[in-house]
Amino acid sequence: MDAIQTALRNYNSAAVQLEPPRPTLTWETVVNAVNVADPDILRDTRTDISTLQWAEPARREGTVLYFGIKQAKEEIVRLNVEIRRLLTFMRNKHNKMYSAIAANMMVNPPLASYLSCEWQLRDQVNSSIARRLVQASKLYGFSGSLFPGKHLSNNGPELMDSDLNIPPPFWYSHILCISKTAMEVEEPEDDALTADREPDIDESALIDILEEVGL
């Protein structure tokens, strides 16, 4: 108590010396301020968020499910593009490795042997990737394509397998079962990929369903 009164006197003494002077405080003002800051008094003045609609468990579960489905649909659009890009990269890398081995077979046999080992290892990895993609393509609702595209370099389209007389890799002809080369792929613009796509689902219906099961 004495400490508070001392602090009050010091404050009032300093307040009147300021330019312009500040209002002084009385003991009653300080006591009232302490009472107003009492948590028991403030407890009745705040909003109880537990009574709001968005705080209800069913609505929160419905919101999470809604945005989860929305994000999944956006992810599918992106994956459908990335799958074709991956297959295109795998096939083009095969063509480049094959050409490099053939070019060094006579002039640099050690390098050709090393590239051949790397080529076989890469072919095994790509075969594993191709098998996983084939498994994914059998899932319900799969909307992508396992047909490689055509890479566009700075000098124009790269030559295809048939133009280079390069035999297709094992995964290309036996796992993906592709018997002809892909044509140029028209891929969507980045803006189209990142644009907001509204899922074909009714949020209100989701909330009703979750309320039905008692979430």
Reported as a single tens digit per residue, the pLDDT across 139-155 is 888 999 898 887 776 55
- The residue ranges of DSSP E strands in the chain, in sequence order, are 152-153, 156-157
Cα dihedral 187, 94, 137, 173 sign: positive
Reported as a single tens digit per residue, the pLDDT across 37-67 is 555 545 555 666 777 787 787 888 888 888 8
> Comparing 2-11, 24-33, 80-89, 150-159, which segment has the lowest mean pLDDT?
150-159
| Confidence check: pLDDT of 102 > 80 | yes
The pLDDT of residue 213 is: 54
User: Residue-wise over 150-172: b if at least 16 C-beta within 10 A, else e?
Assistant: beeeeeeebebbeeeebebbebb
Question: pLDDT class for 209, splitting at 50, 70, 90?
Answer: low
Residue 117's Cβ-side half-sphere holds a number of Cα atoms within 13 Å equal to 5
Alpha-carbon distances, residue 134 vs 123, 173, 174, 209 (angstroms): 16, 13, 11, 35
How many angstroms separate the CA atoms of 103 and 114, rounded?
13
User: Residue-wise over 184-195: b if at least 16 C-beta within 10 A, else e?
Assistant: ebeeeeeeeeee
- For 207, other C-beta atoms within 10 Å of its C-beta total 21
How many angstroms separate the CA atoms of 1 and 8, rounded?
11
Angle at alpha carbon of residue 81, lines to 168 and 150, rounded to 5° = 40
Cβ atoms of residues 90 and 161 within 8 Å: no
The pLDDT of residue 149 is: 82
pTM: 0.58
Amino acid at 57: P
Query: Residues 107-133: what's their mean pLDDT?
Result: 92
Question: pLDDT class for 189, splitting at 50, 70, 90?
Answer: very low
User: Distance of alpha carbon 86 from its chain centroid, rounded?
Assistant: 18
Cβ atoms of residues 180 and 150 within 8 Å: no
